[in-house]
Chains A and B, each alone.
Chain A
């Protein structure tokens, strides 16, 4: 099981365990919800990662205690793009960030900020998608 799955699983165990212990010791609702919430989030992420990993053909093997306690072996780590390509320089992150911030400022200054955000957001999205599609086409999909 790859490192990231192990990590999410351990986080889920820890948060849930502490959340339950916290409730039993203090009966305080806010903290319990937050701790169990972290546990739930980690469980969901574990589930999603596990689904993706199995979908690309891997299967769980070995005794469960190894998953929890030991680090992953190199052969278990898996990344979708092994080409090692790096993206080229692009204005997309700057433009996109500007658009996001202007959009968020709608909450302070009203709907006109949303209007102002349209152009940088669209430019950012367009540039980003264009680069991503080009890279996608250049790599063999497995």
Chain B
């Protein structure tokens, strides 16, 4: 294998290695989908950087080994180059600016304020479960430990989730939405999602809150708007007493 071929192979491995940073789920929300695009951009840039840097290191290690029969003579004692410093400062700077711009564009989508008429869901986290209330409809679901409460939400409509905590800091995390937000006592938080696909999505607490931090899951079941309204009516009819729902 020639030196050149070996270095190429390492460069490709580098790109794959960068991809070892993992595949994230395909988002089930429209906001999440713009995060998917951003991640693709970030991964592509990472692969290029990794291949370049690992390639250069590997090349140096192979090409500039000191041979066994080497003389005592030192190599040229080059100690610096203004031009190179400028190049490898400007290059990464440009890459950073690109990533930052993409970040801002994505943030605008993810953090966009909801329109009028968004569905409201108030979520209160506590040790160790969730109390989810639909304030405009007088419906509430609550669950402690596993399997936790299940909140039903409509597909295709904006949903504003309002987070609080009754005790310590928790965090509302649904991996398939590519999103989490902290539930902090005394500091209410809100975010908006528009679920694009019907389905059941697992949620977890993502801020260490004590012994049963890993035992307070919840689920979001996304259904058509009609089914959602039907569910709301039946919940209201059954009396909005909290109880774990299947």
| Direct A–B touching, Cβ under 8 Å | no
Q: Could you list which residues of chain A lie within 8 angstroms of chain B, going by C-beta atoms?
A: none
Q: Could you list which residues of chain B lie within 8 angstroms of chain A, going by C-beta atoms?
A: none
